[in-house]
C-alpha cells in the first residue's frame, strides 16, 4: 500500500522531532539536575522525568519543536546539527519557563496530562522554577558556545524574552473583555509566540556562523511560523481533543479572546452579535454555554478563518527562506505546524 503524502510528511516530522529530542535530552537533563533542591525535583517533574516524589517515570514529553527549529536552521545554513545543541537546549529551557508562568496566569491545572507544577508545589515555587530555567538557558549558552557567539546569542534570546513579556501582557489585557481586532491580535501573537520561534531559528543560524542577512531571514521564518503555531493553538483551544492535547479545551469557558473568537466577532454576522452578547455577560450563572459559543464561532467563520490565517503564515514563513531546497527539515516542520492536533 502506497503511503499518502500527508502521512509521509507527518512521519518525517515526527522523526525530526524525535531525533532532536534524543540529541538534546542529555544536556537538558544535566542542566535541570544541576538546580538545587527542591527546584531540581520540580524541574524533573515538569519535564516528565519523575513523579512528585522523585520516582523516575516516562511521561509524554513536549514536542521539542523549538529545539528542532534551532538545529534544522543550523543545518540549513551548512553546519552540523551538534553545532547548535546548546542553543537548542537554551530555547527549550526558555519555552518551559514560559509554560510554568503561563499555567499560573491562565489558572491551567493540567499540563501534559498531569497536574501542573503550581498545583503541586504552589504558585511561588512554580514561578521560581520558571525563573531558574530562564537563568539556566543563559548559562547553557555561555558555557556551550564560543565567546563572541555566546554574547550575541544571549542578547538575541533576552530580547526575544522581552518581546514575549510584551505579548503576554497584551494577551492578559485582551482577556479583560475588551474587543480586539485581528491586527491587534496578530501583534500580540508575534510577541507571545513568534518571538521565541524566530529566536530559535536565528540562534541556529548564528551557531552556523551565517551572515547577518541569513540570520534575519531565519528569524523571519521562525516568527511567521510562530504566528501559525499560535493560530493553530487557538483552534485547538476550542476544538481540540483533551485526550490528545493533555489539557482541556477551555478557551471559551474562560472567555478568552483567541483568534477564532476575534475573527468571529469581526464578521458582522448575526452569530457575531449573539457571541458578543455572551462574552459581555459576566453575570451569567453557570458560566458560558460553551457548546453554543463554539457553534456561533463556527457559524461566524471563526473556525475556517483561523485555519486560513495559519496556512497563510506558513506560506509566508517558507517564502522567507532564501533556499527552501537546502532547508528541507524546516519546510517539513512548517507544514507540520499547520496540521498538528496537539
pLDDT 10s digits, 138-154: 999 999 999 999 999 99
Per DSSP, the three-state class of 110 is: strand
User: Per the domain annotation, does 253 fall within a domain?
Assistant: yes
- pLDDT tens digit string along 321-340? 999 999 999 999 999 998 88
The string of pLDDT tens digits covering residues 267-316 is: 999 999 999 999 887 655 457 899 999 999 999 999 999 999 999 999 99
pLDDT at 286: 55
**Cα–Cα distance for residue pair 275/322, rounded to 1 Å:** 43
CA 164 to CA 208: how far, in whole Å? Answer: 25
Judge whether 57 lies within some domain: no
Residue pair 120/168 in contact by the 8 Å Cβ criterion: no
What is the pLDDT at residue 248?
A: 80
- Which CATH number do you get for residue 278? 1.10.600.10
d(CA 16, CA 72): 9
pLDDT band at residue 127 under the 50/70/90 scheme: very high
Mean pLDDT of all residues belonging to the chain = 93
CA 191 to chain centre: 11
Domain ranges, residue 309: 5-52+62-107+114-339
Query: Residue 300 burial by CB count (10 A; 0-12/13-18/19+): exposed, middle or buried?
Result: buried
Q: How many structural domains comprise the chain?
A: 1
Helices and strands in the chain, H and E counts: 16, 2
Sequence length of the chain is 342
Report d(CA 22, CA 116) in Å as an integer: 24
**How does DSSP assign 202-253, residue by residue?**
HHHHHHTT--HHHHHHHHHHHHHHHHHHHHHHHHHHHH--HHHHSS---TTT
| CA 171 distance to own-chain centroid | 14
Query: Confidence band (pLDDT; 50, 70, 90) for 61?
Result: confident
Q: Is the pLDDT of residue 3 over 80?
A: no
**Portion of the chain with pLDDT greater than 90, in percent:** 83
pTM: 0.95
Residues β-bridged to residue 110: 115
Tell me whether residue 320 is in a domain: yes
pLDDT of residue 285: 41
Instruction: Identify whether 237 is part of a domain.
Output: yes
Yes or no: say if 193 and 203 are a contact pair by the CB < 8 Å rule. no
The residue that leads in pLDDT, 113 or 156, is 156
Q: Please state, in angstroms and as integers, the Cα–Cα distance from residue 3 to each residue in 10, 44, 307, 325, following that order.
A: 11, 38, 25, 22
pLDDT of residue 132: 98
Q: What is the pLDDT of residue 85?
A: 98
Q: What is the pLDDT of residue 4?
A: 66
Which of the 8 DSSP states describes residue 191? I
Residue 203 lies in a domain: yes
Task: Examine residue 333 and state whether it is found in any structural domain, yes or no.
Answer: yes
Amino acid at each position: 500500500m502506497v503511503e499518502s503524502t500527508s502521512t509521509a510528511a507527518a512521519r518525517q516530522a515526527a522523526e525530526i522531532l524525535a531525533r532532536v529530542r534524543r540529541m538534546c535530552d542529555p544536556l537538558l537533563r544535566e542542566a535541570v539536575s544541576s538546580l538545587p533542591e527542591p527546584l531540581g525535583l520540580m524541574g524533573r517533574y515538569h519535564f516528565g522525568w519523575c513523579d512528585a516524589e522523585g520516582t523516575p517515570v516516562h511521561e509524554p514529553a513536549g514536542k521539542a519543536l523549538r529545539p528542532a527549529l534551532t538545529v534544522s536552521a543550523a543545518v540549513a545554513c551548512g553546519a552540523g546539527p551538534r553545532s547548535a545543541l546548546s542553543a537548542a537546549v537554551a530555547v527549550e529551557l526558555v519555552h518551559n519557563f514560559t509554560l510554568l508562568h503561563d499555567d499560573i496566569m491562565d489558572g491551567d491545572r493540567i499540563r501534559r496530562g498531569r497536574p501542573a507544577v503550581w498545583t503541586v508545589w504552589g504558585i511561588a515555587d512554580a514561578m521560581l522554577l520558571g525563573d531558574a530555567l530562564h537563568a539556566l538557558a543563559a548559562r547553557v549558552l555561555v558555557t556551550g558556545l564560543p565567546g563572541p557567539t555566546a554574547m550575541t546569542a544571549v542578547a538575541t534570546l533576552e530580547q526575544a524574552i522581552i518581546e514575549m513579556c510584551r505579548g503576554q501582557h497584551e494577551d492578559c489585557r485582551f482577556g479583560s473583555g475588551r474587543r480586539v481586532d485581528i491586527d491587534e491580535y496578530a501583534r500580540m501573537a508575534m510577541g507571545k509566540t513568534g518571538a521565541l520561534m524566530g529566536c530559535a531559528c536565528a540562534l541556529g543560524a548564528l551557531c552556523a556562523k551565517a551572515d547577518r542577512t541569513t540570520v534575519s531571514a531565519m528569524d523571519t521564518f521562525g516568527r511567521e511560523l510562530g504566528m501559525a503555531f499560535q493560530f493553530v493553538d487557538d483552534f485547538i483551544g476550542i476544538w481540540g481533543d483533551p485526550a490528545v492535547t493533555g489539557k482541556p479545551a477551555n478557551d471559551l469557558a474562560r472567555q478568552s479572546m483567541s483568534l477564532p473568537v476575534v475573527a468571529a466577532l469581526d464578521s458582522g454576522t448575526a452569530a457575531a452579535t449573539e457571541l458578543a452578547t455572551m462574552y459581555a455577560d459576566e453575570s451569567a450563572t453557570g458560566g458560558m454555554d460553551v457548546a453554543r459559543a463554539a457553534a456561533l464561532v463556527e457559524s461566524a467563520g471563526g473556525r475556517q478563518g483561523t485555519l486560513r490565517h495559519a496556512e497563510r503564515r506558513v506560506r509566508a514563513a517558507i517564502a522567507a527562506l532564501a533556499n527552501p531546497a537546502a532547508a528541507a527539515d524546516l519546510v517539513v516542520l512548517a507544514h507540520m505546524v499547520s496540521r498538528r492536533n496537539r
